[in-house]
Structure 1
Amino acid sequence: MTGLLFGGARTIELDGDIVQVTERSRTSTISLADVVAVPAVRRTLLGATLSIATGSEESIILRGANRRDALAFSNHVEKAWVEYNISALEREADRFSSLRAAVTALARPTRYPAACAIQVILDEARSFDDAVLSKLRMEAIGSEAASLVAEVRTFVAEPRRIRNTAIETFVIAELERWKDFFDTIESKPLTHEQRLSVVVDEDATLVLAGAGSGKTSVITAKAAYLAKAGIRSPEEILLLAFAKNAAEEMSERVQARSGVALAARTFHALAYDIIGLVEGSKPALARHAADDALFIDTIKQILKDLVRSDPDVAKAIIKWFAQFFVEPKTEWDFKTKHDFYTHIEKLDLRTLQGEKVKSYEELQIANWLYENGIEYEYEPVYEHKVASAGRRDYCPDFSLVESGIYIEHFGVRRQTMPDGSERLTTAPFVDREQYLAGIDWKRETHSAYETTLIETYSYERQEGRLLSSLADKLAPHVTAKPRPPAEIFDRVVEMKQVDNFSQLLGTFLRKYKGGAYSVADCETKAKKLNLGRRAAAFLSVFEPVFEEYEKRLEGRIDFEDMILRAARYAETGRFHSPFRHILVDEFQDISQSRGKLVKALKAQHQDARVFAVGDDWQSIFRFAGSDIHLMRHFGDEFGGSFDGESGLHRTVDLGRTFRSIDQIAFAARAFVLKNPAQIEKQIVPAGKATEPAIKFVEVTANEGEKKLGELLASISEMSSTSERTSVLLLGRYRFLEPDLPDLQKRFPLLRLSFKTIHASKGLEADHVVLLKADGGRTGFPSETVDDPLLSLVSPEIEAFENAEERRVMYVAMTRARRTLTILASKSRPSSFVTELRKDLAAEREKSGTATHVVHECGECGGRLVDVTGEDGRRWYRCEHVRHCGNFLPACPACEVALPRREDGSPEVSCKCGAKYPTCPECRDGWLRERSGRYGRFLSCVRFPACAGKSKGRATSPTTTE
C-alpha cells in the first residue's frame, strides 16, 4: 500500500504477522501483537489517511492513499489481526482453561483458600498474563472470549480482594456443611469461635485459647476434621504435644470422638524418631534429660567441683555470689522511696554473713569484708551514748570487731556545676540538705569521741572503685585474711543461694543451647542492653560451667541436642517429612529449637500448614526453654506470603471461658494485660458472681496454718453434702505444701489437693486458695525467673517488670471456678497482692461496694498496715518497716481507725467523727498534748521521728455527729 509522504509512511505492507513500514530510506517492522485497535481510514482532500494504532506513543499513519485501496488494506490487516489474537489464545487453550477454572473456583471454593494454595494460582496467572493475556486485544477476540480473559486479568489485578472474598464464602459454607459434626464431636456443641478455628486453614493459624476456653476440644476437632474431610490422610497429620500424657490423651480423644486413628507425639519423641531414621540408631539420652531436679543438681555439682578444682573459676564464682548475685540497682534508679524500698525488700539483700542490709552497695561492702576475713558488725549501737533531742541511738553502718574502726557508706554522688565546681547530690527522693547535714553530724560525733571513721561513697561505685578504695582506706588499720573459696562456697550453699543460681544457670543453659547462641553473642548483646559488669561476671561463670556440662554428657544427648539435631536433618533434607499439617498444642511453651524444627518440617512442602493452639497469657515455662517471642511474632516466624506480603497468618480468639465467673475472669485479664506485650484477647466469662469472688486474707507471723484452717472451715460450711466441693491449694513453690492428709481428715466435705502453680496448668476447682503470696526473693513474684540476664539468650527482651511471674499469677487466678482466696503476709504482701487489692478496690468503689481502705504512708508512699501492740493497742506502721519507720497510733477516740488529713484542712479526721490539729512538719501526724520541762505543749504523735510542735494547750478531740 502506497501513499504520499507528508510527515508519515510512504508504503505499508503486511507480511504474515508483520507490518512493514517504509519512510524515505528507512524501513521498520511492527508485529500484529503491537497493534491495539482495528485500523482506521479517514477521507481527506488528498485522498485518504490510514492509521494503525500501536502500543507505542506513535501510531502508523499513511497519508494521501487511494481510499478504496486504503479500505481494502485496512480490512486485510483487521482480519489478520483478529486471526493473530484468536490464534494466540487458542495455542494456550488448555493452559488458559485450567487457569480460568482455578480462578473461577474461587467464587465457590471447596477448600480453604490458603495463601500457599492461591499463590500458586497467582504466579501462574501473572506468568500467563505477561506472556499472553496482556498482549491480547479484546476487540480482536470477541466479547465472549474477552469476558473470560477479563476474569483472569481481574484476579491478577486484585488478588488480595478476591482471596479475601473467597475465604469469607468458604467459611460460611463450610460451617454450615459441617454443622452436625461440630454439634456432636464433643459432649457439648462447639462454640462459633471453636468452629471457625477448625475450618480456617491458613498457611499458619494461631488459635488464642484463654484459660478454660476449650482448646483441647479445638485441636481434637481440627485433627478429626482434616481426616474426615479428606483434606489429609492420617499419616500426613502431625499432632504435637509437650508432655507424654497430654499426647496420649489427645490420641485417645481423637479416636474416641471421631474414629480417626491418629497418634499424637511429643516433640522429643518425634525428634528421637527422626534421629533414629537418619542415623540408623538412637543415641543414648543424658540421665537428667527428663528429670528437671536432676538437671539442676547436675549444675550445682558442677559449680561445687569447679570451686575446688579451678582457682580462676572459683574466684569468678565467689565474685558472682559476693557482688553480683542480685541486680545492682541503687537509689538513683528509682523516683520514689516506695519504689526503692519495694525493690530492696523483693531482693532480700542478705550478706554472706547472714544479715539483711538496706542497699546493694552495703551488700558489696559487707561481702568484701567477709571474703577478706575481716570480722564486722552491721549497724551496731555506737559505743558512746550520743545525746541529741529527737534522735534515736546512733548506729553506724559497720564496725570492725578487732580494730574498732567504723564504716559509714554515704549515698552521695558528685555533680560538676556549670562554673566547674563540684557538689554532692543525693537520690531524687532524698532531702539533700538534710542528708548532708546528717553526714556532718556523724563526722562531728566521731571527731568529738575520737573514734576512727572510714567513709565510702556511692560515687566510688559509680566510678568502679568502691571496693578497691575501701581496701586502700582500711589497709593501715586491718590485715585482710582472705577466706578459701571452698569455705565461702559452702557458706553460700548453706544459705541456699546456690539453689536459685543453679536454676538461673539451668534456664540460661537451655535457652543458650536451644537458640544456638555463643558467648560472643551474649557479650555483644550485654553491651547493647547495658547490663554491664553483672553480665560479664555471669558469663565468666557460665562459660566454664557450660563447657563442663558438655563434657559430662559423655556422648549422650540432652533434649536441646535432640531437637536441634532433628531440625538440622529436616533442614538439610536428610529426613523426608510426610507431614503436611502440623498441629501444635500449648504453643505458648514452644522453644527456639522446637520452633526451628517446626519451620524445617513446614518448609519441605509448599502446601504444608501450621495450626497452633495456645495462650501467651499462660507462657510460664521459661526455665524449660520456652520463648514467648515465637507466639508474639507468629506470622513472621511461621506465616506464608501472598502477593508480595509476607508473614500471612490467621488468628482466631476463642474468647469464651467455660471455667471462671466474671469477677475472676475479668480481674485476671486486666492483671495480665498490664504488660502491653501480651496479645489482647476478649473474655466471655462462665457466669456472673453474686458476691465477692476474690478475697484476701492477711496473715501475721506463724498463723498461716490457723488462717488456712479458718478459711477451709468457712468453705466447708457452704458445701453440699451430696457432692464434695473441690478446693485447690496453690503454692509458688513445692515447699509451701501443707499437711494435706491432716486437712482432709478435718474437712471431709471438701476434696482437697495441692499443686505448685506450674503443675496446676490445665486443672480447675470450685475454690482456689493461693498460699503465702508474700514479697521477697523467694516470694511471689520470684526474682530468679525474670532475671534480666535471660534477655541475653532471648530474641526479644521482656522489658516489662516480672513479665513471666505476672503470667504465673494469671494461671493461678484462672484455676478457680467460683472463688479465689489469696493468703498474704500482712506486713510484707506480694507486690501482686498490693496491685490486685488496689485495682479491685477501685472497681468496687466505682460500684459502691468498697470494703477495704488502704492508707498511704505520707513518708514514702507505701502502705500503712494496722498492727496490735503488746498492750493490745492498735497502731499503723509503714509496710517498709526496716526502711521507712513511719508509725502512727490509732485514733484516741475510737482506738480502731486512723485519722487522715483532708486536702487543705487544718485538721485530720477519723471515720468515727473525731478531729485533731494537723502536724505542721509531716503529712501523716497530728498534734497531741504532752508534758515538758516548761509545762504542757502540743507535739506530733510520731515523735521522736517527727519534731513537729505547736504552742498552746490541747482540747478534747472535736467530733461531728
Structure 2
Amino acid sequence: MELEAHHLRVVRRGQTSLMSLDGMTSPPSVRKSALGTILTVSSAECGDIVLRGVGYVDARAFADEVSKAWIELNVSALDREADRFSRLHAAVASFSRPTRYPSACRIAPLLSDARALDVALLSKLQPEAIGPETTERVTLVRTFVADPRPARSNAIATFVTAELDRWKDFFDTIESKPLTHEQRLSVVVDEDATLVLAGAGSGKTSVITAKAAYLVKAGIRQPEQILLLAFAKNAAEEMSERVEARSGVPIVARTFHAIAYDIIGMVEGTKPALADHATDDVAFTNLIKKILKDFVLTRSEVSKAIIQWFAHFLVEPKTEWDFKTKHDFYTHMEQQDLRTLQGEKVKSYEELQIANWLYESGVGYEYEPVYEHEIHRTGRRDYCPDFRLTESGIYIEHFGVRRQKMPDGSERLITAPFVNREEYLSGMDWKREIHAAHETTLIETYSYERQEGRLLTSLAEKLAPHVIMNPRPADTIYDRVIELKQVDAFSQLLGTFLRKFKSGGYSIADCDAKSERMKLGNRAKAFLAVFAPVFQEYQMRLGGRIDFEDMILRAARYVETGRYVSPFRHILVDEFQDISQSRARLVKALKAQHPDVRVFAVGDDWQSIFRFAGSDIHLMRNFGDEFGGSFDGEAGVHRTVDLGRTFRSVDQIAFAARTFVLKNPAQIQKQIIPAGLATEPAIKVVMTSKGEEEKTLSEVLAAMSAKLDAAHNASVLLLGRYRFLEPDGRDLQRRFPRLRISFKTIHASKGLEADHVVLMNADSGRMGFPSEIVDDPLLTLVSPEEEAFQNAEERRVMYVAMTRARHTLTILASNSRPSSFVVELRKDPAYGIAAAPAAQQDTHECGECGGRVLDVRGQDGRVWYRCEHVEHCGNSLPACPTCCTALPRRADGSAEVRCSCGASYPPCPDCKDGWLVERTGPYGRFLGCVRYPTCAGKAQISPVIGRARRARSKR
C-alpha cells in the first residue's frame, strides 16, 4: 500500500489498483493482533482493504499521513466551492425567517443547484474530515436536498404569518373596510400560480387592488413589471382608477385585446385594421347569417348541406327508443321544439323527418287531419292519421315499432320500453282495418326503417306510384327557415363554435375525430359540412383585417417565438372564469418568457356563464396543470385561496345558491360565510297563471313597497333570461315610486346587486330558463372535455341570478310549466324555499306518462286537471263533482277514489287516474270513466250505488 497524492496504490497478489482518497468513508484504523499490526482502509467503492503483519510504528505513521491527505482533500474540495456552498447554506438557513414568499420558481433553482453540489461534493464529504461545525452546515443543506417539500412548506407558513403581521396597517386601510383574513392571505401568497376563488359579493376587486399595491409597496415589483388584465374595457378603466386612488400606485389595467394589439404593434411596427364586427356581437352574427344566405343562392353543394341541417338535424335526433319513461321522452320532445318547415309542431323526431322531406319534395300535406270518413261508436277519439297528402288523398301512418330477432330466427315487432306492445299493435291493426273498410290508401312507415338508415328512401319508393315530386328550390326553403326564425339560433351556434374553433387552434379533422369518439353521429357530420365552408368564407371576408381571436393568437405567437420580449413579472387576471383557450395561450406565453413570472388569477367558476363568447371553464378547473410551476419533480404547483365570505347576500340566499350550484360535482368546492342572517323567508317562489304574469309581478312589487317605512326606499332588480322579457319599467316606477326598479338580463347583471331581486319567467321550454338551446352537444367538439352535467352552464346562470340579491329573491314561474330549476328548488327542503300561499297546490302524478297533473280553469270557469305534457299525453280530468276544485285520487291499496273534500267514487277499471260517474247510453244508465272518450272504462250500476244516488237526490 502506497500513498500517491490523492490516491492509494494497492498491490495485491501482483495486481495493482488505485483507490481515490475521496472515496474513503473514515480515517485508516491501526490495531495490534497476535500476528502483528493490522492496517484497515474503508472505501465506499472498494470496501475494506486490510494489510496484515506490518510494524506498528510504520503502520501508525502511514495511517497518519493518509488521514492528513484525506482531510486536506475534503477541506480543499469544500474550499473550492466555498462561495457556492455559503450561498446555498444561507438560502436554506433563511427558510426559518424568509423575507420573500418561497415560491416554486424561487426555490426550484436553489434545489437544483443544491442537488448538483450534493452529488459532486457534499455527499462525499466525511464528518471526521471536515469537523463538527462544517458538518452541521453541510447537513442543513443535505437535509433540504433529501426532502425539500416540507422545508418549503414550513418556510411558506413562517413567511405568511410574519408578512400578515408586518402589513397589518396596510390591510386595515387599503379599502374602506379592513380586508378579511382570506383577502389578506391571497395578497401575501405569491406562488408561481395563485388562484383566488372569489364567490359572488366576496370582494374580489379589493383583492386585486391590494395585490397590485402590495407588490409595488413591498418592493417586489416596479409598476411597469405588473400586467393587470380585465375582460371588458370599462372594467379595466375602473380597476386602474381604483388601484391608483386606493394606493397611489399608477398601474394601468388593460383588456386582453388591448395588450395583444400593443404586442402586434410593437412587433410589426403598425397595428392591423380591426374587423368591423369584432366589437359588435350582433354584427358578427349578422355576418354569419349573410354567409349562409349567400351560399344558398350561389353554391349548390353548400346550399344542400345547409338545407339538410335545417330539415333533419336542427334538433337532436332522439326518439322514444332513447328513453325509459314517457315523461322523459315528452320532456325531451318539448325541449326540442319539433317544428316542421311547413310550420306545425309534430310529436316525434321521425315525424319531423317525414314532414320536412315531404316539404322539400314539394308534396303538399296536412298533419294529423281528422279522417275523412266518420267512424261510429268506437269508444275512441276522432281518428287523426299522421299525414294526409292534399293532392292525392293518400294517408301516411308512421308506426313506432322495431324488429327483434327471436331465438328461433323469426322476427317480431317491438315497441319502445314504456309503450304497451299489445295495445300498440292492436291499434296498428285497427287503423289498417279502417282504411281497408273505407277504401282509402294508407302508406306505412316504421321506426325500424330509420334504424336501418332507409326511412326516407323507403318512403319515396312507396309514394312513387301515387305522387309526382316537385322539389322546392333551396332559396325558397331557406326563406321559409328565416320566417320560422330558426336561422338566428343556428347563426349564434355557428358563431360560438367559430370563436372556440379559432381560439383553441382546432382543425376540421380534429372535430371529425372527436365526433367519432363521442359518437355524435350524423348530426355532427351535418353540422361540420356547413361549418367548414362557412369558416373558410369567414376567413376570406376578413381580408387584411383581424378579429379578436386573430389578435390574441397572433400576439401569443410573437411572445412564444421571442419576437416580443415581455417586461412583465406579475400577471394579474380578473374574472378568470371567463378566460378562453387563446387568452390562456397568451398568458402562458408571457409566463414562459422569464423563470420568475407569477400568475395571479381571481375568479369564480360558479359564475362562468360566457361559453357563447369562447370562455372555457376547464382552464380554471385545471388551473395548476395549465399555469402552475414545478418543484421537486411535481408539476402543476399552485396555491388556491378561498375568499369564502360574501358581503352581499343573507344566509338563506347564500347557502341556497351554494347548494344549487354544487349539485354539479365538477364545480370547485368553496365555503360561504353569509353577509348576515335573514329575518324573514328570503327566497320565495310565486306561481303564475297563463296571461297573469304582469299582474303577479305587480302584486310582488306592491308587497315589497308596503313593507317599507316612510323614510326608506329599496332597490329592486328584475332579471330575465332574455332581453324580450323586459317589462315597462317607466310604468312600474310610476306605480311604485319607493322602489328603485331596473331590469337586466342575467348575463348583463353580473357584478350588480340589489336589495331585492325578482327573477321572471322561470318556465320550461326552449326559450325558458334553463334555456334549452345553449348547451348544444356540438360545442364539445371545440372544448377540451365535455361538461357531462345536464344544464351545467344554465345552472351557473341561475346561481348568478340568485346571488344578485341582498335580502330577498322572488322567483316567478308558470303554474302549468315551471322550469326544472323551480321544481328542484321547491322539492328539496335543503333550499328552504317559501311558496306564496296562493301558489300552494298538491302535486299529482299523471298515471299515463309519469309527468305532473296541474289544475287549469276552463273558459266556462270550471276547474280541470291536465298533464303538463298537454301536446303529447293529453291526459285530462275534471275536478271533483262534489267540491268542484280538488282532484280525487286513488290511495295505494284503496278500492275507491277519494277527494280531499271527503267524496269517494268507484275507480275506473281501465286507467290509473280516472273514476266512474253515471252516464246514460242506448241501453240505459251505466258507470263510465270521467276521461271518456280517451278512456272507455265502464261498469254496471250496482244496487248499493243506486241507493246512495237516490239518497243524495232526496237530500
Equivalent residue in structure 2 for 1:157, among 142, 146, 169? 146
Q: Is the 8 A contact 2:846 2:867 kept in 1?
A: yes
TM-score, normalized by length of structure 1? 0.96
CA offsets per residue over residues 458-504 of structure 1, 9 Å max, x none?
A: 11112221111111111111111111111111111111110100100
In 2: Cα distance, 1:190 partner to 1:891 partner: 62
Look up the match of 1:906: 895
Look up the match of 1:670: 659
Q: 1:388 to 1:164 in 2, by over 3 A?
A: farther
1:579-618 alignment to 2 at 5 Å?
579-618=568-607
Equivalent residue in structure 1 for 2:164, among 175, 180, 183? 175
1:647 partnered with 2:636: yes
Q: Is the 8 A contact 1:844 1:850 kept in 2?
A: no
Structure 1 position 747, deviation (Å): 1.4
1:229-628 alignment to 2 at 5 Å?
229-628=218-617
Q: 1:908 to 1:818 in 2, by over 3 A?
A: farther
CA offsets per residue over residues 673-724 of structure 1, 9 Å max, x none?
A: 2222111212222222233322223233332222222222222212344333
Q: 1:375 to 1:633 in 2, by over 3 A?
A: same
CA offsets per residue over residues 107-135 of structure 1, 9 Å max, x none?
A: 11111111111101100110110111011
Structure 1 position 932, deviation (Å): 4.5
In 2: Cα distance, 1:504 partner to 1:809 partner: 21
TM-score, normalized by length of structure 2? 0.96
In 2: Cα distance, 1:858 partner to 1:45 partner: 107
In 2: Cα distance, 1:798 partner to 1:327 partner: 17
Aligned length: 947
Equivalent residue in structure 1 for 2:155, among 166, 184, 193? 166
In 1: Cα distance, 2:485 partner to 2:558 partner: 42
Look up the match of 1:192: 181
Q: Which amino acid aligns with 2:441?
A: T
Secondary structure in 2 matching 1:60: strand
Q: Is the 8 A contact 2:826 2:833 kept in 1?
A: no
Equivalent residue in structure 2 for 1:124, among 88, 99, 113? 113
Secondary structure in 2 matching 1:61: strand
Equivalent residue in structure 1 for 2:743, among 751, 754, 779? 754
In 2: Cα distance, 1:621 partner to 1:95 partner: 52
Look up the match of 1:687: 676
Equivalent residue in structure 1 for 2:759, among 756, 760, 770? 770
Q: Which amino acid aligns with 1:239?
A: L
Q: 1:850 to 1:325 in 2, by over 3 A?
A: closer
Equivalent residue in structure 2 for 1:99, among 84, 88, 100? 88
Secondary structure in 1 matching 2:657: helix
Secondary structure in 2 matching 1:888: strand
In 2: Cα distance, 1:634 partner to 1:60 partner: 57
1:863 partnered with 2:840: no
Secondary structure in 1 matching 2:277: coil
In 2: Cα distance, 1:207 partner to 1:586 partner: 10
Structure 1 position 845, deviation (Å): 11
Look up the match of 1:708: 697
Q: Is the 8 A contact 2:685 2:834 kept in 1?
A: no
Look up the match of 1:739: 728
Q: Which amino acid aligns with 2:789?
A: F
Secondary structure in 1 matching 2:812: strand
CA offsets per residue over residues 812-858 of structure 1, 9 Å max, x none?
A: 11111122222222222222222222225885699x99965422222
Structure 1 position 663, deviation (Å): 2.2
In 1: Cα distance, 2:331 partner to 2:419 partner: 16
Q: Is the 8 A contact 1:583 1:611 kept in 2?
A: yes
Secondary structure in 2 matching 1:437: helix
Secondary structure in 2 matching 1:579: coil
Q: Is the 8 A contact 2:867 2:874 kept in 1?
A: yes
Equivalent residue in structure 1 for 2:708, among 702, 707, 719? 719
In 2: Cα distance, 1:774 partner to 1:656 partner: 32
Secondary structure in 2 matching 1:51: strand
In 2: Cα distance, 1:907 partner to 1:86 partner: 103
1:225 partnered with 2:214: yes
In 2: Cα distance, 1:360 partner to 1:39 partner: 92
In 2: Cα distance, 1:539 partner to 1:689 partner: 52
In 1: Cα distance, 2:842 partner to 2:166 partner: 57
Q: Which amino acid aligns with 2:102?
A: P
Q: 1:639 to 1:829 in 2, by over 3 A?
A: same
1:900-939 alignment to 2 at 5 Å?
900-933=889-922, 935-939=924-928
Segments of 5+ residues of structure 2 without an aligned counterpart are none
Q: Is the 8 A contact 2:656 2:831 kept in 1?
A: no
CA offsets per residue over residues 56-96 of structure 1, 9 Å max, x none?
A: 36311112222332223222222222222122212211111
1:784 partnered with 2:776: no
Look up the match of 2:203: 214
In 2: Cα distance, 1:922 partner to 1:613 partner: 58
Equivalent residue in structure 1 for 2:782, among 793, 797, 801? 793
In 1: Cα distance, 2:910 partner to 2:648 partner: 53
Look up the match of 1:895: 884
352-361 or 665-674, larger mean C-alpha shift: 665-674
Q: Is the 8 A contact 1:841 1:852 kept in 2?
A: no
Look up the match of 1:58: 47
Secondary structure in 2 matching 1:289: helix
CA offsets per residue over residues 343-386 of structure 1, 9 Å max, x none?
A: 11111111111111111111111111111111111111111122
55-64 or 555-564, larger mean C-alpha shift: 55-64
Q: Is the 8 A contact 2:296 2:302 kept in 1?
A: yes
Q: Is the 8 A contact 1:841 1:850 kept in 2?
A: no
In 2: Cα distance, 1:769 partner to 1:565 partner: 44
In 2: Cα distance, 1:929 partner to 1:641 partner: 82
Structure 1 position 796, deviation (Å): 1.2
In 2: Cα distance, 1:438 partner to 1:926 partner: 24
906-915 or 436-445, larger mean C-alpha shift: 906-915
Equivalent residue in structure 2 for 1:13, among 2, 5, 10? 2
Q: Is the 8 A contact 1:248 1:264 kept in 2?
A: yes
Structure 1 position 419, deviation (Å): 2.4
In 1: Cα distance, 2:472 partner to 2:118 partner: 82
CA offsets per residue over residues 559-601 of structure 1, 9 Å max, x none?
A: 0000000000000000000001000000011111000000000
Structure 1 position 427, deviation (Å): 1.5
Q: 1:896 to 1:22 in 2, by over 3 A?
A: same
Structure 1 position 38, deviation (Å): 2.2
1:84 partnered with 2:42: no
26-35 or 440-449, larger mean C-alpha shift: 440-449
Structure 1 position 617, deviation (Å): 1.1
Q: Is the 8 A contact 1:303 1:545 kept in 2?
A: yes
Q: Is the 8 A contact 1:504 1:784 kept in 2?
A: no
In 2: Cα distance, 1:617 partner to 1:68 partner: 83
Q: 1:140 to 1:870 in 2, by over 3 A?
A: same
Structure 1 position 244, deviation (Å): 0.4
Q: Is the 8 A contact 1:321 1:492 kept in 2?
A: yes
Question: RMSD over aligned Cα, in angstroms?
Answer: 2.1
711-720 or 192-201, larger mean C-alpha shift: 711-720
